């Protein structure tokens, strides 16, 4: 099944030959009725009349100095890098409902954003460990823009009616975003560790191994606290020596550290900048959870989730949690 099968091949849609086809179409549009002459570039995919002989190679006359290359020995360099052909053939629909496509693709797009964001937060964690603050803040700031893009991807699913969702819901079986390993990697990096979240992935060795490694590694927040301690701030030993595989529990001493930094921003410019980048991340994660909650409430009311939870009631509890808790509570003491 092809993702973009409804579009003409010359539209520049990924997987259809991309920019070169589009450029060829601009210089000499080939329609079903147009006679094909030697000067008209014809690609493998252009519609062709029976009488017109067509070769796969582009005629030299079209090789204008400012035109993109058309001839490649194998797959295009674009394809070799982007793997658009792979990406646009991963949409295996399970129902005949036309609305299922955007549900599946939105979920896949979100998985890709989770992957990018995990990459940024791992970069930031490593940079903090090495005391390279600017590299860490840059990665965090990139992740803020990516979280914004992630959150905007709710739009196509934000107003589903129960009827629209029901049209393909049965096809999902017991599949649920709850089983997203990359989302768990994000949560683990935020300090929300839970060994039980590995259980659904026992049957997928690579995924399980990656998640298990992430469970035992210090989270982004653990690295932030260790970094603050190296800067001479009184982060308690219990927070520094904690078991990284356990959920981070907020501490009054850490709250006091953040409050002291925010109370004297001129003295601690760099650390307050770090605190604000982390607050942006926390706010946008909270927004993702709430957008998900509202979309779910619209699409299925109080029904049980496909993953077996109580649905909205369960998501409500999850959405109440604050990421990087002391960064929020400290504000009451500044
Ligand atoms: C309108 C469409 C959607 C509905 C109705 C919906 C519904 C639900 C429900 C009821 C749960 C709770 C677990 C369960 O029993 O299944 C859940 C969890 C989850 N969903 Fe969705 N979902 C939707 C779209 C998405 C999309 C597009 C994603 C993107 C990957 C996603 C990611 C998640 C994640 C990560 C969880 C686990 C949350 C947590 O552990 O706190 N959901 N969803």
The CA R_g of the chain, rounded to the nearest whole Å, is 26
Per residue in 166-176, pLDDT (tens digit) is 999 999 999 99
User: Do 172 and 309 contact (CB within 8 A), yes or no?
Assistant: no
Most distant CA atoms of the chain, gap in Å = 83
Give the residue, out of 108, 149, 153, 177, with the most ligand 1 atoms within 8 A of its beta carbon, to mutate for a pocket test: 177
Ligand 1 interacting residues, C-beta cut-off 6 A: 106-107, 110-111, 157, 160, 176-178, 180, 183, 292, 295-296, 299-300, 305-309, 311, 314-315, 318
Q: 233 pLDDT band (50/70/90 cuts)?
A: very high
**Alpha carbons 247 and 268: distance in angstroms, whole number:** 28
Residue with tokens 């659904």: 200
For domain 100-333, the CATH class is mainly alpha
Average pLDDT, the chain: 87
User: If DSSP codes are grouped into helix, strand and coil, which group holds residue 314?
Assistant: helix
**Distance of CA 95 from the midpoint of ligand 1 (Å):** 19
**Distance of CA 178 from the midpoint of ligand 1 (Å):** 6
Q: Which pTM value belongs to this model?
A: 0.85
**Alpha carbons 80 and 129: distance in angstroms, whole number:** 35
Helix boundaries (H) for 130-268 = 133-152, 162-169, 181-189, 205-216, 220-230, 237-240, 252-263
Show the 3-state SS of 262-309: HHCCCCCHHHHHHHHHHHHHHHHHHHHHHHHHHHHHHHHCCCCCCCCC
Per residue in 12-35, pLDDT (tens digit) is 333 333 333 433 434 433 344 444
**Alpha carbons 203 and 308: distance in angstroms, whole number:** 19
The fraction of the chain above a pLDDT of 70, given in percent, is: 81
Q: What's the confidence (pLDDT) of residue 168?
A: 98
> For the purposes of burial, counting CB atoms within 10 Å of the CB of 225, is it exposed (0-12), middle (13-18) or buried (19 or more)?
buried
> Is the confidence at residue 37, as pLDDT, over 80?
no
User: Do 225 and 254 contact (CB within 8 A), yes or no?
Assistant: yes
**Alpha carbons 248 and 37: distance in angstroms, whole number:** 70
Between 187 and 65, name the one with better pLDDT. Answer: 187
Between 303 and 35, name the one with better pLDDT. Answer: 303
What's the Cα-to-Cα distance from 218 to each of 138, 180, 242, 268, 281, rounded to whole Å?
20, 21, 9, 24, 18
**Alpha carbons 295 and 297: distance in angstroms, whole number:** 6
Q: 64 pLDDT band (50/70/90 cuts)?
A: confident
The closest residue, in CA terms, to atom 35 on ligand 1 is 177
DSSP classification of residue 11? G
Domain positions in the chain: 1-90, 100-333
């Amino acid at each position: 099944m092809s993702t973009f099968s409804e579009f003409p091949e010359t539209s520049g849609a990924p997987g259809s030959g991309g920019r070169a086809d589009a450029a060829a179409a601009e210089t000499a549009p080939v329609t079903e009725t147009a006679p094909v002459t030697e000067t008209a570039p014809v690609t493998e995919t252009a519609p062709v009349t029976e009488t017109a002989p067509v070769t796969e190679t582009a005629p030299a006359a079209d090789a204008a100095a400012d035109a993109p290359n058309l001839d490649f020995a194998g797959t295009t360099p674009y394809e070799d890098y982007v793997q658009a052909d792979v990406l646009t053939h991963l949409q295996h629909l399970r129902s005949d409902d036309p609305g299922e496509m955007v549900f599946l693709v939105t979920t896949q797009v979100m998985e890709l954003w989770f992957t990018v964001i995990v990459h940024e937060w791992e970069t930031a964690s490593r940079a903090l460990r090495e005391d390279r603050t600017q590299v860490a803040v840059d990665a965090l700031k990139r992740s803020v823009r990516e979280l914004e893009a992630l959150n905007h991807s709710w739009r196509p699913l934000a107003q589903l009616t129960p009827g629209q969702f029901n049209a393909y819901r049965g096809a999902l079986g017991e599949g649920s975003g709850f089983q997203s390993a990359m989302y768990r990697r994000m949560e683990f990096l935020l300090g929300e560790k839970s060994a039980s979240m590995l259980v659904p992935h026992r049957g997928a060795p690579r995924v399980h191994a990656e998640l298990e490694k992430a469970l035992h590694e210090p989270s982004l927040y653990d690295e932030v606290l260790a970094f603050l301690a190296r800067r001479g701030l009184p982060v308690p030993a219990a927070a520094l020596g904690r078991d990284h595989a356990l959920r981070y529990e907020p501490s009054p001493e850490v709250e006091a550290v953040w409050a002291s930094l925010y109370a004297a921003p001129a003295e601690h410019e760099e650390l307050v900048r770090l605190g604000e980048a982390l607050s942006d991340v926390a706010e946008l994660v909270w927004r993702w959870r709430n957008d998900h909650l509202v979309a779910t409430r619209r699409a299925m009311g109080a029904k049980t989730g496909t993953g077996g939870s109580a649905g909205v009631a369960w998501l409500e509890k999850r959405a109440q949690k604050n990421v990087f808790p002391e960064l929020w509570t400290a504000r009451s003491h500044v």
